[in-house]
Amino acid sequence: MQGEKPHWLTRKENIRKLWWVFSAVLALTVLAQAVIYVKGYFTVDGWFGFGAIYGFVCCLLMVLFAKGLGLFLKRPNEYYAERDDDA
């Protein structure tokens, strides 16, 4: 596979551009709430940027929960290796 170009998503210059584009889209989504009126059902969900903060915190909690769960469910590296004694 020599001479082949790497996939466009794996090139460092494209990764940097994608980070900038995605960050701009996320910022514009949050800033859109300044123009669009959001009437929350509860008081807290009407706050500016609540959806972005809530989504970030929930995602963070899911990752932390998965990491903690992995500590309990982790198996040793040799768990699926064939046994030496075929009894």
**Sequence spans of domains, the chain:** 8-37, 40-75
Say which DSSP state 41 is in: S
List, for residues 47-77, the tens digit of each pLDDT value: 999 999 999 999 999 999 999 999 999 888 8
**How is residue 38 written in tokens?**
């959001």
**How is residue 20 written in tokens?**
């900038």
List, for residues 31-43, the tens digit of each pLDDT value: 999 999 888 899 8
What is the pLDDT confidence band of residue 79, given thresholds at 50, 70 and 90? confident
Give residue 32's identity as a one-letter amino acid code. Answer: A
**How is residue 35 written in tokens?**
């123009």
Higher local confidence (pLDDT), 86 or 7? 7
**How is residue 26 written in tokens?**
């996320």
Burial 10-23 (b: 16+ CB within 10 A, else e): eeeeeeeeeeeeee
Say which DSSP state 83 is in: P
What stretches of 17-84 adopt beta strand conformation (E)?
Answer: none
Q: Tokens 């709430």 identify what position?
A: 33
Higher local confidence (pLDDT), 68 or 5? 68
